[in-house]
């Protein structure tokens, strides 16, 4: 028997765009990302957005409909469905049903979950050949058996070990652990293997200045401002080899140094030496990846993340080749084991790799998250009314995912509202996720929406995958309510499914112009 499942999320609202223009997009076929990456304007999306035929989803089932007369349809989401899932009392409905969200507490998420995806997982760590399998789930240490690695292993990635999309990683270095400050300009020597998407993903070496021990902490705002003003000491992008200009060393006191190399395999640069202004006691090695082309999606196939070893500062005594890092292991948290939290940044903001919680010498950090933001608000709060299908009553609750008071988007936000998981019985032919949404995300302003699902199969959850086959994100300022949804093809093979609805602030991928503008 064919069955069709509907997970109707009810009414999801996106806050209103209110940001100045960030970027213009031009076209470069040589750099054009594949279909998976392209925003799908609302007017090109199938379903209600085209036909405006309210209440009748236009998605198609894959394959031919055979013996349609035997099909049954079950509706999974209804008011309180996730609370009943938690209580073990959930029963799917046999008549059309959605969760209106109206029965939940104002300002809450009801029984739904949320996620702040703007908070990156900390990636910089001491990789140890003895605790991983080199060239299987970690790169071999560049020297000896341990090194600094900004990367991880994920069996679901295309390139299984390396770096993910949308990552922001800060490695803090106190370069004067012995002398306190530098008496003169100094040199830092390191062995490194860097490969990041050319001209889209970067490593920067940033100086703290002012002889200060740690003036930047894990501040994304400060680092972004320094990068925007090209105030960094060194910028790396692409696959670096010893033949890359400036790769083996340069004087950063004469201005920002660029180390850039076209795609291809990286090669380890051994003993590169850079001259640093004496007042930069604190150094920050920052890695930032954008929304596409990484080890995770395999579209950047080169290298395995950023690797550093044998970090030496020339005025910090002996052993000379071990003054900052060579082979040490990271301290362990005396409370419960695990990494030692960096007490100098906010909770979750960093772990100490060398030194103490109160005085780290090397610390792996990420910037604070922007917040989960999603909350239930009254339907009369949208400042731009939809005159055809208005929501203007105080009792009609909707999810709003931006600023809680003015409903505007929040810079760098990346937040999701997450459903509970639902079981998928055997014999299901199709699983559909449907929701109503109101979008005010003008194209090219840097805000996108997309939905994802993940399936539980063979005893484990898989990675989140876009609900739209082949991927894609939604932009557009429709400024009206409409039904949207996707068929979750892979879910028919699973024993459970879970869905999340996200909005993300991203710098649109600006492509280089060829020829005159």
Residue 386 as a binder of Ca ion (CB under 5 A): the answer is no
Residue 251 as a binder of Ca ion (CB under 5 A): the answer is no
Nearest CA-CA partner of 57 in 68, 66, 49, 65: 49
CA-CA distance, 436 to 328, in Å (whole number)?
Answer: 54
Which residues make Cβ contacts (< 8 Å) with residue 224, sequence separation at least 6? Answer: none
Cβ distance to Ca ion smaller for residue 189 or 294: 294
CA-CA distance, 58 to 62, in Å (whole number)?
Answer: 13
On whether the CB atoms of residues 263 and 238 are closer than 8 A, the answer is yes
Rg (CA), the chain: 25
CA-CA distance, 39 to 197, in Å (whole number)?
Answer: 20
| Contacting residue, 99, 201, 440, 486, with Ca ion by CB under 5 A | 201
Its sign, for the CA torsion 262, 289, 498, 104, is negative
Residue 302 as a binder of Ca ion (CB under 5 A): the answer is no
- Shortest distance in whole angstroms from residue 57 CB to Ca ion: 18
| Contacting residue, 186, 200, 204, 374, with Ca ion by CB under 5 A | 200
Residue 309 as a binder of Ca ion (CB under 5 A): the answer is yes
Residue 143 as a binder of Ca ion (CB under 5 A): the answer is yes
Question: Which of 10-18, 250-258, 422-430, 459-467 is the region at the interface with Ca ion (rule: CB under 5 A)?
Answer: 10-18
Question: What's the token pair of residue 154?
Answer: 């994920």
CA-CA distance, 97 to 77, in Å (whole number)?
Answer: 7
Cβ distance to Ca ion smaller for residue 100 or 278: 100
Which of positions 94-133 make contact with Ca ion (CB under 5 A)?
A: 100-102
- Shortest distance in whole angstroms from residue 321 CB to Ca ion: 10
Residue 197 as a binder of Ca ion (CB under 5 A): the answer is yes
Greatest CA separation found in the chain? Answer: 85
Question: Which of 24-32, 125-133, 191-199, 225-233 is the region at the interface with Ca ion (rule: CB under 5 A)?
Answer: 191-199
- Shortest distance in whole angstroms from residue 163 CB to Ca ion: 9
Cβ distance to Ca ion smaller for residue 105 or 183: 105
Question: Which of 34-42, 66-74, 320-328, 452-460 is the region at the interface with Ca ion (rule: CB under 5 A)?
Answer: 320-328
Its sign, for the CA torsion 177, 179, 180, 184, is negative
Give how many residues touch Ca ion by CB under 5 A: 20
Nearest CA-CA partner of 153 in 136, 170, 130, 171: 136
Cβ distance to Ca ion smaller for residue 395 or 493: 395
Cβ distance to Ca ion smaller for residue 277 or 327: 327
Q: Please confirm whether the linkage preceding 392 is cis (ω < 30° from 0).
A: no
Residue given tokens 């640093």 in the structure block: 276
Its sign, for the CA torsion 416, 421, 426, 431, is negative
- Shortest distance in whole angstroms from residue 431 CB to Ca ion: 23
Cβ distance to Ca ion smaller for residue 189 or 289: 289
Residue 308 as a binder of Ca ion (CB under 5 A): the answer is no
Residues 253-272: x where in contact with Ca ion by CB under 5 A, - otherwise, as a string = --------------------
How many CA atoms are closer than 13 Å to the CA of 222, on its beta-carbon side?
16
Cβ distance to Ca ion smaller for residue 457 or 511: 511
Query: By beta-carbon distance, which residue lies closest to Ca ion?
Result: 144
Question: Which of 148-156, 190-198, 345-353, 380-388 is the region at the interface with Ca ion (rule: CB under 5 A)?
Answer: 190-198
How many other C-beta atoms are found inside a 10 Å radius of the C-beta of residue 264? 13
Interface ranges with Ca ion (CB under 5 A):
11, 100-102, 141, 143-144, 146-147, 197, 200-201, 289-290, 293-294, 309, 327, 396-397
């Amino acid at each position: 028997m064919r069955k069709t499942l509907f997970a109707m999320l009810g009414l999801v609202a996106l806050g209103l765009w209110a940001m100045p223009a960030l970027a213009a997009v031009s076209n470069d076929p040589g750099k054009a990302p594949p279909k998976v990456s392209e925003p799908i304007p609302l007017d090109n999306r199938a379903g209600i957005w085209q036909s405006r035929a309210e209440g009748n989803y236009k998605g198609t089932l894959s394959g031919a409909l055979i013996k349609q007369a035997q099909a049954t349809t079950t509706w999974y989401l209804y008011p309180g469905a996730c609370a009943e899932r938690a209580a073990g009392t959930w029963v799917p409905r046999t008549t059309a049903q959605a969760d209106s969200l109206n029965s939940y507490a104002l300002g809450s998420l009801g029984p739904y979950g949320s996620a702040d995806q703007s908070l990156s997982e900390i990636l910089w760590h001491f990789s140890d050949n003895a605790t991983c399998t080199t060239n299987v789930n970690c790169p071999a240490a560049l020297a000896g058996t341990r090194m600094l690695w900004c990367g991880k292993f994920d069996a679901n990635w295309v390139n299984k070990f390396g770096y993910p999309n949308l990552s922001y990683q800060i490695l803090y270095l106190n370069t004067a652990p012995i002398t306190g400050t530098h008496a003169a300009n100094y040199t830092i020597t390191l062995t490194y293997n860097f490969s990041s998407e050319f001209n889209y993903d970067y490593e920067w070496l940033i100086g703290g200045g002012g002889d200060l021990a740690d003036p930047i902490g894990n501040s994304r705002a400060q680092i972004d401002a320094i990068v925007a003003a090209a105030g960094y000491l060194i910028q790396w992008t692409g696959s670096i080899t010893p033949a890359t200009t400036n790769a083996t060393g340069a004087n950063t006191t004469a201005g920002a140094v660029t180390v850039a190399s076209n795609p291809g395999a990286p090669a380890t640069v051994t003993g590169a030496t850079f001259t640093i202004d004496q007042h930069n006691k604190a150094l920050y090695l920052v890695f930032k990846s954008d929304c596409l082309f990484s080890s995770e999606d395999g579209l950047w196939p080169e290298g395995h993340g950023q690797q550093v070893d044998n970090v030496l500062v020339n005025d910090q005594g002996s052993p000379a080749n071990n003054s900052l890092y060579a082979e040490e292991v990271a301290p362990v948290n005396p409370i419960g084991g695990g990494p030692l939290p960096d007490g100098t940044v906010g909770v979750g903001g960093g772990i100490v790799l060398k030194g103490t919680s109160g005085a780290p010498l090397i610390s792996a950090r990420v910037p604070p998250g922007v917040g989960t933001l999603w909350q239930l608000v009254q339907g009369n709060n949208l400042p731009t009314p939809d005159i055809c299908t208005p929501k203007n009553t105080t009792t009609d609750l909707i999810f709003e995912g931006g600023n809680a008071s003015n409903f505007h988007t929040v810079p760098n936000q990346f937040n999701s509202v997450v459903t509970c998981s639902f079981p998928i019985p055997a014999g299901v032919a199709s699983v559909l996720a449907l929701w109503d949404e109101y979008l005010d995300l003008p194209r090219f302003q840097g805000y996108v929406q997309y939905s994802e699902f993940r399936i539980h199969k063979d005893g484990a959850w898989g990675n989140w995958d876009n609900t739209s086959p082949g991927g894609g994100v939604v932009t557009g300022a429709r400024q009206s309510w409409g039904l949207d949804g996707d068929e979750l093809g892979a879910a028919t093979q699973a024993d459970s499914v879970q869905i999340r609805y996200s909005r993300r602030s991203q710098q649109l991928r600006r492509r280089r112009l060829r020829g005159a503008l």
